[in-house]
Structure 1
Amino acid sequence: MGKGIKKRQTSILSYWTIRYFLILFVSLGIIATCAVYWIMESALNSRLKTAGLLGQEVAERVVAEDGKLKLPPYFDKLLDSRLMFFNIDEFDLCFIIMDADGHVVYSRPQLKDDEIRKKLSDDLTHARDKRFIAVTTPIMNGDQQEGQVTLLQSKMSLYYKQNEIVLVAVLLLTLTLGGWLTLYLLSRKLSRPISRVAESARQIAAGHYDFKPGVQARESEINDLMESFGHMAARLKHLEEWRELSLAGVTHELKTPVTSIKGLLLAVREGVVIQEEADEFMDIALKETSRLERMVADLLNYNAFSSGSLEVTKDVLDLCALIQEIIYQWGIAHEDAGADIQFHCAEKSMFIVGDALRIQQIMVNLLNNGLQSAHPGRPLQMKVRLAIANGSAVIEVEDNGSGIPELEQPYIFERFFRGEHKKRTTRGLGLGLTYSRLLARAQGGELKLARSSAQGSVFALELGCPETVAGSAKGLGKPN
């Protein structure tokens, strides 16, 4: 199958204004048609009544003497005043007064009998031309009809007048343009910040992270959009800068032991060092190899977890016993560090569902962090407390080290982030805390920095919903 045809895209401004204009124009057109029809019918009825009143007044003023009709003096002036009073347009108007025999007594404009017969029906009551309407009023003398007054007008002049057509057209045009202009301005106001955000997104995609709104809006939603996008751009800029620095740092951290190992081995092979000194160089190379191995393992573990290939089991664990065992084993491995570790569990037993191996990895990372942050001016002391808080098992690991600077605290869980102190004292990739947090979340828990100052730091590991067996708290010691 061939590729689908890409739909033609248009701007919000054009899309909404054109469609709204069409909808508004059609809607107002229907309304205007109904209104004009109603106006025409109302005007027709009103003007027919007006013509009837004029005919009745004229009929009352015409005097019948000896069977003949006689017009009052100054009849033309009287008729002019009445036409003006009743607002009757003389255009296409034919005013006729006839006697009982159908002879013309008066007409405006002047017409002969045969011309009248062409305009009116045989009974002189209706117009022959369908475009005209005849309004007839009899002239009575007692019970006898002496003649009739006929007003012959075009339907066009009765339905509407030119000023009425202009008024309806102006109203329709004003409403259409007013509605279109309103939506145009609103759409333009809405599209400007969106266009600005879209342009900024393209700039960010190109690697330019400086975002300036350039548009001030009163609408809270638009302001929230602009501010959120600005924060995102600033965050991306920071992450990109930090990624470049981290990549350089990771490369340096991996390169350093490789360079050191290469130099030590070359020194041994070339005979630069011999006997005991050569053995010492080999020991140093092995230590560097172990560090390199740990860094590579950190990278592999992190990548495996990020890709979802690292499994996390769910077993029922006695958390108190597990943490006590982890501390005991770590203390043996780091006996030469001289760390004083105190352990306190709020319950004799605390059962949770989790992965013992992953919890051990998290705890070892936290204990190693405490060891690496040791203050040179005081002996290292660490406290591990296990308690229940807000329905979760909480493990607090506290040290009395040099602490984490406040500016670095928001980034300590970012991958490859290493504080200035660690960069100077410890080799690593900055994945320990990142990996530990991922392991905690994979078990439905959370790892966070509770507090940190120049007197030390406290990390809190929250895990599962525990089932506890009441008992007295026990201090640190070898597991039974």
Structure 2
Amino acid sequence: MYFLKHLGQKKKNHPTKRVSLLKYWTTRYLVTLFIGLIVIGFLTGIIIRQSTLNKNLDINKYLAEEVAARILDQMVGTDIQTEQNPEVFANRKKLLEVSGNPSIYVVDVNGKIVIENRSSNHLNVSSFSTALLNSKDEVKQLNNIGGRDYYLVKRPMIVNDTVISWIVVMQSEDELTAVDQEYKLLLIMILSLALLGWVAIYFLSKRLVKPIENVAEAAKQVQKGNYTIELIEEVNEQEVYDLVHSFKEMAIKLEQLEAMRAELLAGVTHELKTPVTSISGLLQAVNDGVVTGEEAKEFLAISLQETTRMQKMVGDLLEFNSFTANAIPVNRESVKIGEVINEMIYQWDIVQDDQLVKVTVQQPKEDMVVSADPLRLQQIMINLLNNSKHAIQGEGTIEVRIYKYDEDHVAIDVQDSGSGIPLAEQDLIFERFYRGEDKKYKIRGLGLGLPFSRMLANAMDGDLVLTNSSEEGTTFTIVLKSLILRNED
């Protein structure tokens, strides 16, 4: 325990060192680029070395062939004019642009060197084995001779189908693979590519990081409670644009929620203060004997009514909070939707103070079965019916339609003939504590009815949506999961 505590304190005292995104990407890209270019350079160097070796060996083959042909042209009888051969060797090497300084030998059939043009830094060879000369390999690699590796190229000199001697070209591997100039060009190219790549990634990363830094700075402003932020939205990268746009929308949403929170606090205070003030005044009048008899009873009845309204508001708030904390269970069962909807409408209708609003129901002849909690479904229906009545404000109609939504769902439309919901408010009606401009001054409440109803519908694997709203009325739709009704025996 002491060790873990000490380790936790150590981490707290030494926080993780963070680097900027620009530095992070540019340094890692540069390291990756250098490693990649080094690997590519190494492989390219091997290929260049092998290609140079093969090219120089081919040149040595041509050199041997040319020397053999030139000597044969100058031959008189069977004797070789040795005094002219050094010039022949030099001319052939110059013509073929041989790399380095190979040693050229004229060897008889027994392996004895007749003429040689040996480089000063090469081995002093007196003869070659007949096995080496008669081998099928035109090119032979000789390893670790005097501490160096050599390549030997041989070409026979044939007169009347008889080999009379051999031309042997011998050169060290170091000379055959000498490509210093190519390696320098390769190194310059790799360094140029590395520099170009680093510059490119630096400016591209800087361009990418700038809007992200802008969003990070805006987040700090939002943290301080300043929701009026300016973000760079002119970006070509789709992901960065989505980030900037989503953050800006979030800031606007937070500003709206903050305004709603402040309005809610004022609204809840007002909604609770008004009945408390009324109850206090009414009871004070009764207590002081200002009113007596029937008038005192009326004051008490009004006080009870205000108390009931206050209890309902507090109850709605507590119930909403309990449901959001998953403290209220939803017990789904098979429900004949037409039967329960008619019963709910009947119960709602008989408790209304007036009969100015007429409710009608349209449903299929054969009742449908859904998976729902009857109690929670009744809460949704009562809330929608109350909202419809408030929207009508006098005489009007509420039409309830039950129909098959799709293969797996049943829909319930609640349509009223009220004045409709303003277009600017339609996207906000399901927000918690939101109340429309017309409603907040006429009807008491906390703005939890529709959000709570949608939560109840979602808890039953269904949904509640605003289908349509205009000056001619508003339609809300409840969607519930349908079940197959089995025939009873």
TM-score (norm 1): 0.76
Residues 66-465 of structure 1: pairs in structure 2 closer than 5 A: 69=81, 71-72=83-84, 82-88=92-98, 119-123=123-127, 130=148, 155-174=173-192, 193-194=211-212, 196-210=214-228, 212-214=230-232, 216-269=234-287, 278-336=296-354, 338-347=356-365, 349-375=367-393, 379-391=395-407, 392-465=409-482
Structure 1 residue 301 displacement after superposition = 1.0
1:403 match: secondary structure: coil
Q: Is the 8 A contact 1:346 1:386 kept in 2?
A: yes
Q: Separation in 2 of the partners of 1:27 and 1:416?
A: 64
Matched positions, count: 457
Cα deviations across residues 216-264 of structure 1 (Å, max 9, x unaligned)? 4444454444434443343333333333333332333223323333344
2:359 match: secondary structure: strand
Q: Is the 8 A contact 1:121 1:128 kept in 2?
A: no
Q: Is the 8 A contact 2:368 2:482 kept in 1?
A: no
Closer, same or farther: CA 469–404 of 1 in aligned 2, 3 Å: farther
For 2:58, the equivalent position in structure 1 comes to 46
Gap runs ≥5 in structure 1: 471-480
2:414 match: secondary structure: strand
1:465 match: secondary structure: strand
**AA in 1 matched with 2:58:** S
Q: Which moved more, 1:453-462 or 1:187-196?
A: 187-196
**AA in 2 matched with 1:366:** L
**AA in 2 matched with 1:447:** L
For 1:27, the equivalent position in structure 2 comes to 39
Q: Separation in 2 of the partners of 1:138 and 1:460?
A: 101
1:428 match: secondary structure: coil
Gap runs ≥5 in structure 2: 130-141
Q: Separation in 1 of the partners of 2:344 and 2:156?
A: 122
Q: Is the 8 A contact 1:20 1:183 kept in 2?
A: no
**AA in 2 matched with 1:48:** N
Q: Separation in 1 of the partners of 2:149 and 2:481?
A: 92
Q: Is the 8 A contact 1:298 1:431 kept in 2?
A: yes
1:430 match: secondary structure: coil
Q: Separation in 1 of the partners of 2:334 and 2:77?
A: 128
Q: Separation in 2 of the partners of 1:459 and 1:220?
A: 36
Q: Separation in 1 of the partners of 2:43 and 2:106?
A: 42
Q: Which moved more, 1:386-395 or 1:411-420?
A: 386-395
Q: Provide the alpha-carbon RMSD of the alignment.
A: 4.4
Structure 1 residue 201 displacement after superposition = 4.4
Closer, same or farther: CA 16–354 of 1 in aligned 2, 3 Å: same
Closer, same or farther: CA 9–429 of 1 in aligned 2, 3 Å: same
2:44 match: secondary structure: helix
Structure 1 residue 67 displacement after superposition = 7.4
TM-score (norm 2): 0.75
Closer, same or farther: CA 339–129 of 1 in aligned 2, 3 Å: closer
Structure 1 residue 432 displacement after superposition = 1.1
Closer, same or farther: CA 205–303 of 1 in aligned 2, 3 Å: same
**AA in 1 matched with 2:98:** I
**AA in 2 matched with 1:262:** S
For 1:17, the equivalent position in structure 2 comes to 29
**AA in 2 matched with 1:257:** P
Of structures 1 and 2, the one scoring higher in RCO (CA 8 A, sep 6+) is 1
Structure 1 residue 427 displacement after superposition = 0.8
Q: Is the 8 A contact 1:61 1:71 kept in 2?
A: no
Structure 1 residue 302 displacement after superposition = 0.4
Cα deviations across residues 348-369 of structure 1 (Å, max 9, x unaligned)? 6443332222222112111211
Q: Separation in 2 of the partners of 1:331 and 1:68?
A: 133
Structure 1 residue 31 displacement after superposition = 1.9
1:418 match: secondary structure: coil
Q: Is the 8 A contact 1:62 1:139 kept in 2?
A: no
2:32 match: secondary structure: helix
Cα deviations across residues 168-225 of structure 1 (Å, max 9, x unaligned)? 3344445555666666666566555555555544544444445655264444454444
**AA in 2 matched with 1:86:** L
